[in-house]
Amino acid sequence: MVDYHAANQSYQYGPSSAGNGAGGGGSMGDYMAQEDDWDRDLLLDPAWEKQQRKTFTAWCNSHLRKAGTQIENIDEDFRDGLKLMLLLEVISGERLPKPERGKMRVHKINNVNKALDFIASKGVKLVSIGAEEIVDGNAKMTLGMIWTIILRFAIQDISVEETSAKEGLLLWCQRKTAPYKNVNVQNFHISWKDGLAFNALIHRHRPELIEYDKLRKDDPVTNLNNAFEVAEKYLDIPKMLDAEDIVGTLRPDEKAIMTYVSCFYHAFSGAQKAETAANRICKVLAVNQENEHLMEDYERLASDLLEWIRRTIPWLEDRVPQKTIQEMQQKLEDFRDYRRVHKPPKVQEKCQLEINFNTLQTKLRLSNRPAFMPSEGRMVSDINNCWQHLEQAEKGYEEWLLNEIRRLERLDHLAEKFRQKASIHEAWTDGKEAMLKHRDYETATLSDIKALIRKHEAFESDLAAHQDRVEQIAAIAQELNELDYYDSHNVNTRCQKICDQWDALGSLTHSRREALEKTEKQLETIDQLHLEYAKRAAPFNNWMESAMEDLQDMFIVHTIEEIEGLISAHDQFKSTLPDADREREAILAIHKEAQRIAESNHIKLSGSNPYTTVTPQIINSKWEKVQQLVPKRDHALLEEQSKQQSNEHLRRQFASQANIVGPWIQTKMEEIGRISIEMNGTLEDQLSHLKQYERSIVDYKPNLDLLEQQHQLIQEALIFDNKHTNYTMEHIRVGWEQLLTTIARTINEVENQILTRDAKGISQEQMQEFRASFNHFDKDHGGALGPEEFKACLISLGYDVENDRQGDAEFNRIMSVVDPNHSGLVTFQAFIDFMSRETTDTDTADQVIASFKVLAGDKNFITAEELRRELPPDQAEYCIARMAPYQGPDAAPGALDYKSFSTALYGESDL
């Protein structure tokens, strides 16, 4: 007897792709129990038996040739058990007990029993198959035994989507042939008769071997022979079927078809593994590419926003004042356009940028990628700092504009007042120097000298009365200088001229008085009545001039109280008019008395009072002017009173709306805080509720727009204060922006929870349990847990973090995950991320490395050619551009290091 171990020492036994190990016995037994088409009490169908003989023989030879042998007759060549044991060793990769050398029937039975025992040891239940039947050459039993071996070692381990054996192989065939027309694989008999299914399997994996479009469904023999010949020539799958037998049989043998198809599965299993590995890598790379795109979008949006802020802040910090109110009003209008038109879109961009950043970080956490760290200067905190600087500059710019407008308004008022007083004074001084320099006293008579002295005394009285006006003019000029009036130079020049002239008048007055006094002894009586007239007329005339000046004086007020004060002062002035009229009548009576005495004594008067230029006509004319100015002043004050009443109405109107909008915004902010803590139902319900709530907030915007319109009317009316409300437009704007940002962030938090739940496979019940646990220990409703609160929460969820060495170490580990910045607070999002990592599984760097290794044919490196062959073009180039050259001792030209690339995807150090 030939020892097949000695005869085949050159064969290296090892694991076979057809199956190995001893596992899977239970499912195999179940499958065998379900086989109902192998009736051991009936004879085989002749056509099926023929197909099985050919197929099973070819299948056995495809394995036996590895040991340098083959069989010719399946029911004769296995009778001594030697080739049967050899077949089992080849397909299992294991050693069987040494065969017996004798040629007697008992030796053959023992060898076959050893083979059957080995099959049974793999969990296969052999029903009614005994060694005697095989030794006696029973064809039915021998074919049944070979079919059992095929099932166990070639078909049982096929698994596709949780199915196994026959169902798994059928599902694999359906998947691979689905894209091909005229192919519909539903079984392992009729579905294969036209040969298209065999050709489709080959074309799917090796399209260069089959011209599928040229095949015809009505030519099954050609189709079958084409597939069998290509499989044998290029795929090393021996021809196990005859085309004519398949076409000529009403229902081809299922076992023969399954055996032959299983060879295709194992031939292409390497490609299947490569496809699976490529799919995993594509998925990982797609996640990375999407994240990189989001990072680039963030960097671009952040750069644009920061650039806008950097351009805007210098404009807001420009404090160069303009010379006129009109120019400053234009600046204020430009600032209002900025607040109404330019800034609101940037507020939305800033909010959206924060939401995009949070969403990106959530996606990175969910895909086990390192957190996104924006480039220097583009962090969310950097943008918030720049934004805060912008708002500070904005607030300072608005205050400066309003203060500057007030200053210019005050300056215009003072400048006009200066010009008015200066003009009156200059008109009064006109000719006074010439009069004081006149030497008329040298040729005058004594009475004339007396008159000149009296006239000079009257002038001195008038001069003294004008001293207050000169001081007022100087004081106004000084105030204009202090307020940096743009035309201060001309004001100072004019004021200096008035002061110099005033000093000159004083000096000339003193000199003339000395000259007149030298001749005073020569002067005789002076008309006392004229003198008395002159003395009383001068101050009265000065009073009228002051009254006219006051009645024409410009005024500026900002409150109803101020205008009412001016009206009260004017009413008090009007109450003095009767006394002034009586003084006027008395002065005119003096003049009439002088004329009466002169007429009664036949004195011829020169026609004018020698002591004064203030004639009764001047007094009456000025008195009439005063009478005309009083009602004009009444009208101006009433107009201003009406204006201030209108301003007061605007204040009350704005305050009424602001006192509604302000508390509404505060109430909504508080409601959002409660909603984020007390939300019930599914996350989708919560998200829907929050978006409805957001719409209700947005629908409130017209109330804010109305308030903006009222605020603009107030600014246009130059109203600078409002005692009826504590809310300013700035407070309302900031509160509104915070409200929109808060609801948007709350919605984004729920969206991120949905994203986390869906990506990690967390059920709605788990998410509700996590939320309930978190809220229970969030006693202050602050949205974050302190270390002790978080520890209590973990204990309630079953974590062993009690106060002992092991529990403290575990708690510190968890805290390093949920609070990497050591802030001492754990947010709900960090809590959800931790719980999702604890309860779900995700791709890892090791898994990606294993997938690349499959594509690389088990090498430690991969080539660009292999990447382009196995991956889509864009992802292949993505890997090639980022993979470093492989530096290992087994490196080949163009070798790329896929291990360091894979670990870098997950932010880990190189393995």
CATH of the domain at 780: 1.10.238.10
Distance CA 843, CA 848 (A): 7
Token pair, residue 532, equals 């008395």
- Does residue 218 sit in the same domain as residue 72? yes
Give residue 2's pLDDT.
34
Phi-psi region of 525 (alpha: psi -120 to 50; beta: other; left: phi over 0): beta
DSSP for 126-167, written as a single string: --S--HHHHHTT-HHHHHHHHHHHHIIIIITT--STT--HHH
DSSP for 617-634, written as a single string: HHHHHHHHHHHHHHHHHH
- Does residue 653 sit in the same domain as residue 777? no
Residue 19 domain-assigned (yes or no): no
Distance CA 690, CA 675 (A): 8
User: How does pLDDT run across 92-103, given as a tens digit for each residue?
Assistant: 888 988 998 788
Give residue 5's pLDDT.
37
- Does residue 488 sit in the same domain as residue 570? yes
- Does residue 112 sit in the same domain as residue 132? yes
Helix (H, G, I), strand (E, B) or coil at 824: coil
Q: Give me the phi and psi of 895, to 5 degrees please.
A: -70, 140
Distance CA 257, CA 224 (A): 12
Give residue 230's pLDDT.
93
Distance CA 243, CA 249 (A): 10
Tell me, rounded to whole angstroms, the distance of Cα 827 from its chain centroid: 19
Residue 379 CB partners (closer than 8 Å, separation 6+): none
Give residue 265's pLDDT.
86
Give residue 910's pLDDT.
44
CATH of the domain at 112: 1.10.418.10
Residue 130 CB partners (closer than 8 Å, separation 6+): 116, 141
Give residue 839's pLDDT.
64
Distance CA 794, CA 834 (A): 11
Residue 331 domain-assigned (yes or no): yes
Between the alpha carbon of residue 402 and those of residues 55, 388, 405, 716, 837, the distances in Å are 100, 21, 5, 11, 57
Residue 57 domain-assigned (yes or no): yes
Q: Which of 276, 308, 329 is the last residue of a domain?
A: 276
- Comparing C-alpha atoms, which of 746, 799, 743, 745 is closest to residue 770? 799
User: How does pLDDT run across 203-254, given as a tens digit for each residue?
Assistant: 988 899 999 999 999 999 999 999 999 999 998 899 888 888 888 888 998 8
Give residue 27's pLDDT.
38
Distance CA 419, CA 427 (A): 12
Q: Which of 754, 779, 804 is the last residue of a domain?
A: 754
- Does residue 707 sit in the same domain as residue 818? no
Task: Provide the number of structural domains found in the chain.
Answer: 6
Distance CA 535, CA 590 (A): 11
- Does residue 262 sit in the same domain as residue 355? no
Token pair, residue 652, equals 């009350």
Give residue 782's pLDDT.
72
User: Taking CA 287 as the corner, what is the angle to CA 282 and CA 289, rounded to the nearest 5 degrees?
Assistant: 90
What residue has token string 């001492």? 824
Low-confidence ranges of the chain (pLDDT < 70): 1-45, 157, 159-164, 270-272, 275, 441-446, 518-527, 597-599, 601-607, 676-679, 760-761, 763-764, 838-843, 907-911
Token pair, residue 475, equals 């004081």
Between the alpha carbon of residue 13 and those of residues 16, 44, 97, the distances in Å are 9, 35, 14
Residues 454 and 531 sit within 8 Å (Cβ to Cβ): yes
Give residue 10's pLDDT.
29
- Burial label for 724, CB within 10 Å (0-12, 13-18, 19+), is middle
- Burial label for 362, CB within 10 Å (0-12, 13-18, 19+), is buried
Token pair, residue 264, equals 């295709």
Residue 30 domain-assigned (yes or no): no
Q: Which of 276, 311, 338 is the last residue of a domain?
A: 276
Residues 381 and 306 sit within 8 Å (Cβ to Cβ): no
Q: How far apart are the first and last CA of the chain?
A: 56
Residue 903: how many other CB atoms lie within 10 Å? 18
Residue 13 domain-assigned (yes or no): no
Q: Give me the phi and psi of 780, to 5 degrees please.
A: -90, 5
Find the domain containing 124 and state its range.
46-276
Where in 129-223 does DSSP place strands (E)? none
Between the alpha carbon of residue 3 and those of residues 78, 274, 371, the distances in Å are 15, 41, 66
- Model-level pTM? 0.51
**How many residues are present in the chain?**
911
Distance CA 560, CA 448 (A): 58
- Does residue 486 sit in the same domain as residue 503? yes
Helices 46-64 and 254-267, packing angle to 10 deg = 30
Give residue 443's pLDDT.
63
CATH of the domain at 669: 1.20.58.60
Q: Give me the phi and psi of 826, to 5 degrees please.
A: -120, 115
What residue has token string 């076979």? 16
DSSP H helix total and E strand total for the chain:
34, 4
- Comparing C-alpha atoms, which of 787, 818, 814, 819 is closest to residue 800? 814
Buried/exposed code over 284-304 (b: 16+ C-beta within 10 A; e: otherwise): bbebbeebeebbeebeebbee
Distance CA 520, CA 4 (A): 170
Residues 897 and 885 sit within 8 Å (Cβ to Cβ): yes
User: How does pLDDT run across 610-668, given as a tens digit for each residue?
Assistant: 778 888 889 899 899 998 888 988 888 888 888 878 888 888 888 888 899 889 988 88
Helix (H, G, I), strand (E, B) or coil at 294: helix
Distance CA 783, CA 830 (A): 11
Between strands 895-896 and 784-785, the pairing is unpaired
- Does residue 545 sit in the same domain as residue 601? yes
- Does residue 446 sit in the same domain as residue 519? yes
Distance CA 681, CA 872 (A): 42
Between the alpha carbon of residue 286 and those of residues 365, 367, 865, the distances in Å are 15, 11, 20
- Comparing C-alpha atoms, which of 38, 11, 258 is closest to residue 154? 258
DSSP for 727-788, written as a single string: --HHHHHHHHHHHHHHHHHHHHHHHHHHHHHHHHT--HHHHHHHHHHHHHH-TT--SEE-HH
- Does residue 95 sit in the same domain as residue 212? yes
- Does residue 271 sit in the same domain as residue 318? no
Residues 75 and 142 sit within 8 Å (Cβ to Cβ): yes
Residue 11 domain-assigned (yes or no): no
Give residue 171's pLDDT.
87
- Does residue 576 sit in the same domain as residue 706? no
Residue 334 domain-assigned (yes or no): yes
Residue 861 domain-assigned (yes or no): yes
DSSP code for 801? -
Token pair, residue 322, equals 């303009």
Q: Containing H/E element for 895?
A: strand 895-896
